[in-house]
């Protein structure tokens, strides 16, 4: 099993809940799709060509400041559990992880990680540069990925068209190759049934939403990943500004919904968030989906000040460490299917108990 | 995950529904998604191209141009438009020159524009400073390739742009 503690911060600083707007936004991701001019794209190339691409990228990366100290993974040489672990940490995509038994991992696929930046190699595009930051931090994530792009672009010949811009395997990414996404927690809008309206409005202005694991993934725990839909015709800054503006608006709507719930349904809301806490604290088996939904309730309670003394960092950590590969990694072995919900519940109980040990929340305290 | 509608085929598209404030996500296979009028990721790429090909078919001789257009090969990687239609993925950077017209049309439909206005790539830094700007060099390269491939409309457009730039 791979040792992710080799990563300087375990690749986990995006969980810190230290960034702006952390009470509502878990993390911000910016990625750039890039391809090498001289090589065929992934769907048309062979393992030997992908090996050559990985070699070129690793050589170039070793000369950069952004990736000179990077930890490297040959994703195609990792077993399924390790690939799942990287996926659960948001370091590789579902395509690169290929954990579905019907899929074969792509020969030549690689990953380089340094601090909050990483590069997937031989994904759908030759390079996917990405930066992941805690909270609502589009500019910081962009700065990181833009610096990486510039350093690598000076060393590798990127495919660029004078009119279309950066060329990508799928035409939906052509132009800037930029996809910025903000993982935002919207329980207020879901509870007040406003969410549908909001998502529809967003789709009309060129924004799209996805679940926790990007394209094709499900929305769980009221966590929505909002991102730009188009990549061509607007500059990087325009795309980021537009997303930023719209996410702010969504956050304002969410805040309003939360205040309405707090004002008009105090008892119901308090009951809901404390029940979620109670279940997490004492349940003996927990499915992933149930865990996500209960964590959403507790997160709402913490955000509204109804549940004191549970750190957002703890909740973020639970999002990642209650997933099956992480539970297996904690045991140092693969887990049987029926063992997973038991291990998950035990882990959640332990973490919440530790939190109580530090500073006990007081369920009896009246908040009104 | 299996399709939640037919339960037979693999789901390719996740559909999030909000019912009574509950967010539920179901997975649908391409066929069921199509029947429900939901565009799959692949469909997004296919539909505009399909439209383009349909338009080709409507021109004077119904079969000849369509087949020819589908089977023409990219100089760079040997991919055809048929390959693209099937995979939704382009074979190499050169494909964007080889299939300029259909891809241009597709980009316009996907993004509402074909003009990149973001950062311009200036090439690998080791090149001597005296080399002509990347854009001019690239334009000349494209012009040469367009002429070689007998894409005269594209060549004329590139020639005009070169004149403007020089």
CB contact under 8 A, B124 and A156: yes
Confidence of residue B132 (pLDDT cuts 50, 70, 90): very low
Q: Is the model more confident about B27 or about A313?
A: A313
pLDDT of B55 higher than 80: no
Residue A15 · residue A95 · CB < 8 Å? no
pTM of the model: 0.79
Say which DSSP state B97 is in. Answer: H
Which whole number is the average pLDDT over B120-126?
A: 82
* pLDDT on residue B48: 54
Asked if the model's pLDDT at residue B2 lies above 60, the reply is yes
The nearest alpha carbon in chain A to B137 belongs to A162
Bigger pLDDT: B38 vs B135: B135
Name the band, by pLDDT with cuts 50, 70 and 90, for residue B44: very low
Mean pLDDT within B47-69:
56
* Gap from B110 CA to chain A (nearest CA, Å): 7
Q: 3-class DSSP state for residue B123?
A: coil
How far apart CA A136 and CA A30 sit, in angstroms, is 11
Phi, psi of A313 (to 5 degrees): -60, -40
Query: In 10 A of CB A263, how many CB atoms?
Result: 9
Indicate if the pLDDT at residue B36 is higher than 70. Answer: no
What chain A residue is nearest to B127 in terms of C-alpha separation? Answer: A154
| Average per-residue pLDDT for chain B | 72
Question: Given this model, what pLDDT does residue A102 score?
Answer: 80
Please tell me the predicted confidence (pLDDT) of residue A336: 94
Instruction: Give me the pLDDT at residue A9, please.
Output: 56
B89 and A159 within 8 Å at the Cβ level: the answer is no
pLDDT band per the 50, 70, 90 thresholds, residue B74? very high
Per-residue CA distances from B112 to A122, A210, A229, B56, B144 (Å): 28, 22, 11, 21, 28
Alpha helices by DSSP H, chain A: 47-62, 80-88, 94-97, 138-153, 187-191, 195-204, 236-264, 266-282, 288-303, 312-321, 324-331, 340-358
Are A235 and B90 in contact (CB < 8 Å)?
no
Q: Is B77 near chain A, with CB under 8 Å?
A: yes
| B88 to chain A: closest CA residue | A170
Chain A residue closest in CA terms to B134: A162
Answer with the residue of higher pLDDT: A137 or B24: A137
Q: Which two tokens stand for residue A60?
A: 């170039």
Cβ neighbours for A194, distance < 8 A, ≥ 6 positions apart? A253, A257
Q: Which of A41, A157, A216 sits opposite B90 (nearest CB)?
A: A41
Q: Residue B33's pLDDT is what?
A: 66
Instruction: Identify the pLDDT of residue B15.
Output: 64
* Regions of chain A with pLDDT less than 70: 1, 3-11, 213-217, 358-368
- CA A2 from chain centre, in angstroms, equals 20
Contact B77 A232 (CB under 8 A): no
Cα distance between residue A130 and residue B25, in whole Å: 27
Q: How far is A231 from chain B (nearest CA, A)?
A: 7
Q: Which pair of tokens denotes residue A303?
A: 């955000």
Output the pLDDT for position B29. 72
């Amino acid at each position: 099993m791979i040792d992710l503690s080799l990563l300087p911060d375990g690749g986990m600083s995006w969980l810190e809940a230290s960034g702006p707007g952390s009470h509502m936004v878990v993390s911000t991701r910016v990625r750039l799709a890039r391809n090498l001019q001289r090589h065929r794209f992934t769907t048309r190339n062979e393992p030997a060509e992908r090996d050559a691409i990985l070699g070129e990228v690793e050589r170039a990366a070793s000369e950069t400041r952004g990736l000179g100290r990077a930890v490297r993974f040959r994703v195609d040489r990792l077993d399924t559990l390790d690939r799942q672990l990287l996926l659960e940490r948001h370091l590789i995509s579902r395509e690169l992880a290929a954990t579905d038994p019907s899929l074969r991992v792509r020969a030549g696929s690689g990953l380089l990680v340094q601090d909050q930046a990483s590069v997937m190699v031989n994904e759908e595009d030759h390079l996917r540069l990405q930066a992941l930051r805690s909270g609502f931090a589009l500019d910081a994530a962009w700065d990181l990925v833009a610096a990486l792009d510039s350093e690598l672009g000076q060393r590798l010949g990127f495919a660029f068209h004078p009119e279309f811009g950066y060329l990508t395997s799928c035409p939906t990414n052509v132009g800037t190759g930029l996809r910025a996404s903000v993982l935002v927690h919207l329980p207020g809008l879901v509870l007040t049934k406003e969410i549908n309206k909001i998502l529809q409005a967003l789709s009309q202005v060129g924004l799209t939403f996805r679940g926790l694991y990007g394209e094709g993934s499900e929305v769980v725990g009221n966590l929505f990943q909002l991102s730009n839909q188009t990549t061509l015709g607007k500059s990087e800054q325009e795309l980021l500004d537009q997303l930023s503006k719209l996410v702010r608006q969504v956050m304002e709507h969410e805040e309003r919904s939360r205040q309405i719930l707090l004002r008009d349904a105090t008892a119901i809301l308090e009951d809901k968030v404390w029940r979620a806490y109670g279940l997490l604290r004492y349940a003996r088996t927990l499915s992933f989906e149930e865990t996500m939904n209960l964590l959403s309730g507790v997160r709402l309670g913490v955000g509204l000040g109804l549940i004191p003394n549970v750190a957002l960092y703890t909740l973020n950590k639970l999002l990642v460490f209650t997933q099956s590969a992480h539970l297996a990694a904690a045991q140092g072995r693969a887990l049987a299917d029926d063992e997973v919900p038991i291990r998950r519940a035990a882990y959640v109980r332990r973490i919440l108990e530790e939190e109580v040990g530090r500073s006990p929340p007081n369920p009896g305290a009246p908040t009104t | 995950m299996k399709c939640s509608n037919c339960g037979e085929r693999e789901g390719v598209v996740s559909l999030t529904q909000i019912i009574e404030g509950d967010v539920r996500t179901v997975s649908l296979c391409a066929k069921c998604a199509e029947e429900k009028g939901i565009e799959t990721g692949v469909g997004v790429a296919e539909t505009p191209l399909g439209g383009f090909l349909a338009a080709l078919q409507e021109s004077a001789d119904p079969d000849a141009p369509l087949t020819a257009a589908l089977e023409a090969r990219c100089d760079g990687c040997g991919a055809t438009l048929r390959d693209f239609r099937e995979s939704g993925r382009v074979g190499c950077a050169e494909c964007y020159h080889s299939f300029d017209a259909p891809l241009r049309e597709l980009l316009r439909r996907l993004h509402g524009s074909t003009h990149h206005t973001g950062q311009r790539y200036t090439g690998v830094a080791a090149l001597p400073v005296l080399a002509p700007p990347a854009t001019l060099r690239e334009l000349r390269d494209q012009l040469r390739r367009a002429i070689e491939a007998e894409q005269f409309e594209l060549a004329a457009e590139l020639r005009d742009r070169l004149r403007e730039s020089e």
